[in-house]
Amino acid sequence: MNIGRRKFLKGAAFAAVLPLIYRGKLFGAGNNAPNSRCNVGIIGVGKMADSHLGGLTDMPNVRVCAFADVDDKRLKYWSEKAAQKYAQKGFAFDKPKCYKDFRELLADPSIDAVYITTPDHWHAIISILAARAGKAIYCEKPMTFTIEEARKVTKAVQDAGVVFQVGSQQRSGESFRRAAQLARNGYLGEIKNVWCRLNYSLASTRNWKYEDVPAGVDWDMWCGPAPYNPYSQQLLPMLSDSPQPYNEHGFPAWRDHLDYGNSNQADFGAHHYDIAMWGLGLDGKGPKRVVVMDGANLTGTPGPRQYYYETESGVKIMKGNPSKDVCPLDYAVIFEGTEGVAAADRGPFWANKKYFYDILIGDDDFVYQKAMGESHRDCFFNAVFNGAPVTAPVEGGRSSAELSIMGNIAYRLGRTLEWDWRKGEFVNDPEANKFISRPNRGQWALI
């Protein structure tokens, strides 16, 4: 490896990464004693909240003190379950508070941090109001529903100076971190292509059977800033009375409804594109264009209409997997460079040279490193208590959300789009720019 070139590649990106490091402390300098406690509120107690709450209620320095949701049954289930779990641990603890309007939770001065685990169309407004309220924020991915929202959330978080972590937990996986660090620090040479395993599904309006709104559900609040559609269990499944009600249904289908989600492109784009942008050192930045082709038969990207992203340096971010001579197996993210190839999935890591398995990333390499085994959740609370940098900052969430959303826009329009990531708009393209934002409904238009 040409060490001179590697140092050049590192130095070129170093200035860009410095502003992304958050050094504050929620509890003030020095207040990180073992009995320091972070009171957490959970906003949206659906399927994703269920996956978080077991770990949160096991943390000795964290207390889940409040829930906000539109469904009385979900609120009752989790309030009682959390209180029972804390009682079993011998903690003197009041039953968590329950709110039907998340703004009441944000107004509670005893809440230090919030988990935003709502459907995507709610992420931006809640994040902005939580930042204004001075709360530390863990927001599920994708960070926002629209490109304009991604810009507004970034500004609100930066203006408030609060801790903010996106739930793109692949950044805390050892295999993804190793592949991204090899790419970002120049070990793979100049990156030519990054391959991301995604399909071409698009959200659309749905022809579901309309149902009566269940008792105890504020359906108008669930729709919130998005267009109002009649209730369907496809959007909000009702809980049964079984001991494990969340295990009885899969993830709801709002991700595939045009008014509430951006389908697989955003759902897994916020994972795989996120690793691509991280490994390229493009947190807070974006591509130069989205190239759309019909009938091009690109390697690893089947479908009548295909597209890829191209960065200012000429790197192509491709959907799918490359030919077998580049990488013999199917991986979630593959970095292809002039000096080597590194691939990662949830667990497995692969590289085309043994050297890449054994190399130790140096102390002067500027991709954030974490202790082996530290979870994405631990990273968030390490930032809250100790001012450590988060692994998935708001700038990274903005970049991966924007990338995902603009791909959908280009696919629907069926043509190549030039993108100015500094301005956050398509170049000389009023038609495409109409899709950057969406007006909020009703009272939410004021935020």
Exposure on the CB side of residue 283, measured as CA atoms within 13 A: 29
- Give residue 368's pLDDT: 57
Same domain for 180 and 153, yes or no, is: no
Does 258 map to a domain?
Answer: no
Number of domains in the chain: 2
Other C-beta atoms within 10 Å of 326: how many?
17
- Give the model confidence (pLDDT) of 99-111 as tens digits: 999 999 999 999 9
Same domain for 158 and 178, yes or no, is: no
The share of the chain scoring above pLDDT 90, in percent, equals: 72
Same domain for 49 and 72, yes or no, is: yes
**Of residues 11 and 82, more confidently modeled:** 82
Does 321 map to a domain?
Answer: yes
The CB-based long-range contact list for 91-99 (8 Å cut-off, 24+ gap) reads 91/63, 93/63, 94/65, 96/64, 96/65, 96/66, 96/67, 97/65, 97/66, 97/67, 98/66, 98/67, 98/68, 98/69, 99/66, 99/67, 99/68, 99/75
- Give the model confidence (pLDDT) of 192-236 as tens digits: 999 999 877 788 888 888 899 999 999 999 999 999 999 999 999
Same domain for 184 and 90, yes or no, is: no
Residue 242: band (very low, low, confident or very high) from pLDDT cuts 50, 70, 90: confident
Same domain for 162 and 188, yes or no, is: no
- Give residue 320's pLDDT: 87
Q: Which residues form the domain of 37? A: 20-170
Same domain for 183 and 332, yes or no, is: yes
Same domain for 155 and 177, yes or no, is: no
Residue 20 has pLDDT above 70, yes or no: no
What CATH number is associated with residue 77?
Answer: 3.40.50.720
What CATH number is associated with residue 182?
Answer: 3.30.360
Residue 301 has pLDDT above 70, yes or no: no
Does 337 map to a domain?
Answer: yes
Same domain for 139 and 58, yes or no, is: yes
Q: Which of 154, 170, 186 is the last residue of a domain?
A: 170
Q: Which of 170, 186, 217 is the last residue of a domain?
A: 170
Same domain for 274 and 321, yes or no, is: yes
